[in-house]
Amino acid sequence: MHLIAPAGSCASFFKRLNLTSEDAFVTFVQRVVGDSLEVTADTELLAPQESDEQGGRSDDQRRAADIQNALADPNVRAIVTIRGGAWFTRILPHIDFDVLSDRRTPIAVLGFSELTPLVNIVGAYRMGIGVYDMGVAFLVYGLLRYASQHPDAPPAARDHPPAWTRKQLIPECENFFRDIVHMLKGKPSSRTIHADLLMGDMSDVTEVCMVGGNLTVLSTVVGSRYDASVRPKGHWLMLEDFNDKIERFDRFLSHLTLANYWDDCEGILLGDFHMGEIDQRASMLALLKYHLPAFWHNPVLATTDVGHTWPLSPLPLHTPLTWRREEDGRFALEWDPSVLAVLG
């Protein structure tokens, strides 16, 4: 398992875990995953200095090489992104993803948000498995928001959100990596996506395949050399985003509309959209109706289990999936756990 942080720095996250070094984090993850995987990382890339005034990060070539080398290494079975953030999308041209064409063993890449292109591109290769799943550093934001706003949060969380978040951070980090190992062994994840049907019709059992991710980041690769990896031709499109204005989301959706992304799209999954304490899902549905073509009769589902939210569930991309209607009328997403098996 190779750990990467090719977007934002993890320095503040390591500090919250009371770790004194990047090597200490690798040791922490190794303890959690046990003997089934050797945990590696270029530790100098995990917590670099960032400067908005100086272009964010100054290690573009090294970050790209770290990812490319891991994708090419047959001993690496999984690449796990620690956090999203910024500065990643610009290094895509420096990564030769065709090294995946020479692989003889599958490799899984897990990440979300800024890493939307990486997960989609890798998942499009025969030996690549792309899983849209959180960078574990997101737990700091996700737990705090859950504690202060979620109706199911325990009283201790609502009374003292920061204290509860600090207490839960390490156990939830451990749970996250344990669940990843389960998935990599071909076992079911403990986290399931449930969704509500907002538009269109669906049978009780619907076979699907998905692409997509963070709307802002996904829009940057539309029309690029990577377009085929995110274009929902014969697929469903998942979209999520946070902390931005609806008017800006309208521009990003316009990019998809102008690129004819809806023409062959079989369905849409709207993940979590919020800005601060404002739930933007209803606004996004209203906005989406202006972009979908007149002939659109395909399903639109909504979930709070995908996006910048916690609890958060994994979503395999470019992988056969099944929507199954439950007794309460909601839909649960299922897949054959063996499709993610890269160990053993």
Low-confidence ranges of the chain (pLDDT < 50): none
What pLDDT, on the 0 to 100 scale, is given for residue 188?
96
Pairing assessment for the beta strands 236-242 and 210-214 based on DSSP bridges: parallel
Q: Could you tell me if 216 and 252 are in contact, meaning their C-beta atoms sit under 8 angstroms apart?
A: yes
Same domain, 74 and 198: no
Q: Considering the entire predicted model, what is its pTM?
A: 0.97
| 81 is a domain residue | yes
Pairing assessment for the beta strands 40-41 and 2-4 based on DSSP bridges: parallel
Same domain, 69 and 213: no
| 31 is a domain residue | yes
Same domain, 210 and 254: yes
What pLDDT, on the 0 to 100 scale, is given for residue 223?
96
Range of the domain at 13: 2-138+168-184
Which of 43-74 are b and which e, b meaning 16 or more Cβ less than 10 Å from the residue's Cβ? Answer: eebbbbebeeeeebbebbebbbbbbbebbeee
What pLDDT, on the 0 to 100 scale, is given for residue 36?
87
Q: Could you give the strand order of the β-sheet that contains 315-317, starting from the edge strand earlier in sequence?
A: 40-41, 2-4, 78-81, 107-111, 128-132, 315-317
Q: What's the number of domains the chain is made of?
A: 2
| 245 is a domain residue | yes
CATH number, residue 54: 3.40.50.10740
Element holding 199 (H helix, E strand): strand 194-199
What pLDDT, on the 0 to 100 scale, is given for residue 148?
94
Closest CA relative to residue 66, chosen from 33, 91, 34: 91
Same domain, 32 and 101: yes
SS3 218: helix
CATH number, residue 336: 3.50.30.60
> What percentage of the chain reaches a pLDDT higher than 70?
100
Same domain, 175 and 47: yes
Query: Taking the CA atoms of the chain, what radius of gyration do you get in angstroms?
Result: 19
Same domain, 122 and 218: no
Same domain, 57 and 173: yes
| 62 is a domain residue | yes
| 163 is a domain residue | no
| 147 is a domain residue | no
Same domain, 179 and 246: no
| 203 is a domain residue | yes
Same domain, 105 and 202: no
Domain boundary among 150, 184, 218: 184
